[in-house]
Amino acid sequence: MRVVLGVSGGIAAYKACSLLRLFTEHGHDVTVVPTAAALEFVGAPTWAALSGKPVSTEVWTSVHEVPHVRIGQSADLVVVAPATADLLAKAAHGLADDLLTNTLLTARCPVAFAPAMHTEMWEHPATQANVATLRSRGAHVIDPAVGRLTGKDTGAGRLPEPEVLYAACLAIVEGGAPAPAEAPTRDLEGRRVVVSAGGTREPLEPVRYLGNRSSGKQGVAIARAASERGAKVTLVAATMTVPVPEGIDVVPVETTLELQRAVEEAADGADVVVMAAAPADFRPAAVSESKIKKSDPDGGLTVELVENPDIVRALVTARDARGGRMPLVVSFAAETGDAQGSVMDHARAKFARKGSDLQVVNQVGTDLTFGKDETTVHLMLRGSDEVTTVGPASKDAVADALWDTISPLLD
């Protein structure tokens, strides 16, 4: 399928990169046509690299090929994501002052718009009139999602997730219509949730430490999704490479022992504890007060390590000792296969040992899972032999799937 991906100048332009990847990874030929404003958010080299094609915003580039006519005429689908209020107004009134708006006028294939803007702009009578005009002409306007917008604002106007847009585009091409955006699920309203994220650091001396590759992306996605579903969220944050969403209480920690103390304190009265952090299994037995010098003539250094406590097992033991079923405890098993067993072999053994209610399993390694925007996980539920696989999908999609599984267990 030949797809024209139009991108207008909104902060949600970064999500269009993931939408582009979904198209190309499924074998579709994509031409990206951004507006000049869109390039203020995501540069032309990014679009060119992801699509494998040159990118232009003007009708004056390669004039001999008449791009403002040819691109639209040869497309099987034109989708604009995000579509700003300005772009919708231009399209509704037939304006054509750049390559994208010219393409919209020449396209005779299905055309879809995915609006993204602040709630006040989306609900303004002018925008709604423009949407009605476009729909009356046969264009598909995909309703925006409701959720967190730029800054602290929340409401209608959020660009749907790339997976949702991709599915809607396929439905449009196949002759159907995209499903209307649903109101956000608020199934965690009134719940208290604790999420840990990031990797711990175990100091060896004032400069060096033992750590891991965890970025905190998955934990932050889980915390954000819980907050959007109405929960009061505490994020116990070890070392992370991603910012923390607004409206979430943050407890910063560094070591595994600090992580344990913070999680146990936050878990008091919580409904769910999700241990998405990557705590170090071992720590140096002794921490040098000064930087260790290269004084050994043989160039070697021996470091004695001691085992860190199992935070999940301690949470489960303390809960069971109280005779209660709350908080629900969710563990993570980041595994690699080896001579002793596969990823799932090790995960099943860990699940039995820890006693958590739900375990999220993923395979990790160099350039795999840690720091990536997409992942594949396997969900193991206590008392069930069934394993549910989610992905490959964005970590936001995985977070929602996780809460879809957890929420019924709380009722």
- For 235-248, the pLDDT digits (tens) are 999 999 888 777 78
Using pLDDT thresholds of 50, 70 and 90, give the confidence band for residue 174: confident
Q: Which of 183, 243, 240, 235 is nearest to 214 (CA)?
A: 240
User: What would the mean pLDDT of 158-166 be, rounded to a whole number?
Assistant: 88
Other CB atoms within a 10 A radius of the CB of residue 252 amount to 14
Give every strand in the sheet of 374-381, ordered side by side.
Answer: 249-252, 232-237, 192-197, 272-275, 328-335, 358-363, 374-381, 387-394
- pLDDT for the residue numbered 13: 92
Label the pairing between strands 209-210 and 202-203. antiparallel
Using pLDDT thresholds of 50, 70 and 90, give the confidence band for residue 269: very high
Q: Which helix (H) or strand (E) holds 260?
A: helix 256-267
Exactly one of 130, 212, 308, 362 is catalytic; which is it? 212
CATH number of 2-173: 3.40.50.1950
Other CB atoms within a 10 A radius of the CB of residue 268 amount to 10
Catalytic site residue 212?
A: yes
- pLDDT for the residue numbered 274: 97
* H helix and E strand count, the chain: 13, 19
Indicate the range of 36-40, 120-124, 202-206, 365-369 predicted with least confidence.
365-369
pLDDT exceeds 90 at position 111: yes
- DSSP, collapsed to helix, strand or coil, labels residue 273 as strand
188: which DSSP letter? T
pLDDT exceeds 60 at position 47: yes
CA angle 189–193–195, rounded 5-degree value: 140
Residues of the chain with CATH 3.40.50.1950: 2-173
Domain 192-289+298-410, classified CATH 3.40.50.10300, yes or no = yes
Indicate the range of 75-89, 125-139, 356-370 predicted with least confidence.
356-370
| Residue 48: both structure tokens together | 């060119």
Answer yes or no: are the C-beta atoms of 270 and 231 closer than 8 Å. no
Q: Which of 363, 343, 409 is nearest to 382 (CA)?
A: 409
- pLDDT for the residue numbered 371: 52
- The residues that bridge with 4 in the sheet, in sequence order, are 31, 78
Dihedral Cα 253, 257, 263, 265, nearest 10 deg: -100
Angstrom distance (rounded) from CA 47 to CA 16: 9
Residues of the chain with CATH 3.40.50.10300: 192-289+298-410
